[in-house]
Amino acid sequence: MSRTMSDGSEDFNGNISRTGSHRQTDHHGYKVRFPPAKGLFTELAEGVKETFFANDPLREYKDQPRSKKLWLSLAHLFPVLDWARSYTFGMFKGDFVAGLTIASLCIPQVTN
């Protein structure tokens, strides 16, 4: 039993209805099929690639001049090169207080 509803709602039978101009139109969903079968080697290669290189870590090096690639490599090895330009004295004060706090917790207490 169908009834008129607002856009994008379902009736009690699970039918999706859209009411444009107070008309009810039932739309049937798409059928999802299984993906095409792949060979064992192709499936294994895609699994290894997805496991180890899921987000394509070398994409930022593509089509870059050699000097830019060198800078990106150094910034990857030494992250301070990346964030040091935006580091402020206010950040240093907070980091200094945090460092003192952690240092005070790490120093063993002397007991008699």
The predicted model scores a pTM of 0.39
Q: Average of pLDDT values for 98-106?
A: 90
Q: Is the pLDDT of residue 21 over 70?
A: no
pLDDT tens, 26-68?
Answer: 566 778 888 888 889 999 988 888 888 777 777 888 888 999 9
For 14, the token pair is 């699970």
| 31 assigned to some structural domain | no
pLDDT beyond 50 at 110: yes
Q: Quick check: is 98 in a domain?
A: yes
Using alpha carbons only, give the angle 74, 69, 54 rounded to the nearest 5 degrees: 90
Number of separate domains in the chain: 1
Task: Determine, yes or no, domain membership for 16.
Answer: no
Q: Sign of torsion, CA 98 102 104 105? A: positive
In a domain, 83, yes or no: yes
